[in-house]
Amino acid sequence: MSEISIAENTQLQTIRDLSIATFRQTFADTNTEEDMRDYIAHGLSPEVLGKELADPLQTFFVATVDGVPAGYMKVNLGTAQTERMPDDHAEVQRLYVLADFKRHGLGTRFMRTAEQFASAHGKQTLWLGVWEHNEPAKAFYRKMGFVETGAHTFVLGSDAQTDLIMKHALTAC
């Protein structure tokens, strides 16, 4: 049985473990080990993740399957968003599922959770950035109703990469 819940501050290590494992599974084949280590050390450190977890404008959700952590999502509101957006927008900054748990509907359930969470906070649009070469993720987001509206730069170690900005109007849900 699977469950998605809002993460507690006590789940910092679980979030960090999921963050590192899913990031490596998703991007290790297409990036240098040095860039991966640099991003993990600086972007997924206990200090950074702990600060994010404590911020009321940043909410982590954890999925478990039969009690085993399977993935996580992070939704940002207001000034916590990684790009300046209108007040009625919420950002899905991270949505990752461990490889062993993919193709079981967790991504869709995470996205529905994000929609409900954003709507409950008075938001009308969800947005996210997805690496331009991450074809499976782009296809998933399109299936979920997202459309490409722009791009921004994501720096992974020493590599400046292009993320596509995709948006989804919640009123159309």
- Annotated active-site positions, please? 141
**CB contact at 8 A, 67 and 6:** no
| Strand residue runs (E) in 101-158 | 125-131, 147-156
d(C-alpha 97, C-alpha 170), whole Å? 23
Tokens representing 79?
């000034």
Residue 136 class from Cβ within 10 Å (0-12 exposed, 13-18 middle, 19+ buried)?
A: exposed
Query: Of 118, 54, 51, whose CA–CA distance to 91 is shortest?
Result: 118
- Name residue, tokens 């159309």: 172
